[in-house]
Amino acid sequence: MSAGKVLLGVLAGVATGAILGILLAPDKGSDTRKKISKKGKDYKDSMKNKFNEFKESITEKFEKVKEEAAGFSEHVKSKSDEIKKDLNTSRN
C-alpha cells in the first residue's frame, strides 16, 4: 500500500471522527455549523499545506535530476571530444 493511500485513509478517518464528534455533541445547531465550518477550513488549509510541501519536494527532486542530467551530458560530450581527438591523432 502506498504512503499516499495510507495518508488519505488516515485523513479521511480523522475527518469522519471529527464530524461525528461535532454532530453528536449537545450544542445548538448554529454552534455546530460554526464548528463544522471551522474544522472544514482547518482541514482545507492542512491539505493545501501538505500539497504545497509535496509540490516543493517534487520540484526539488526534478531540479536535482535535471542538474545531474546536464552534468552527465557534459561528461559524455567531453569524452566524445577526447575520443575524436585521439582518433584524429592516431590517423595522422
Residue numbers of the domain that contains 34: 3-91
Count of domains for the chain: 1
pLDDT of residue 92: 62
Q: Residues 30-66, buried b or exposed e (16+ Cβ, 10 A)?
A: eeeeebeeebeeeeeeeeeeeeeeeeeeeeeeeeeee
8-63 tens-digit pLDDT: 888 888 888 877 877 777 777 788 778 878 888 998 898 899 899 999 999 999 99
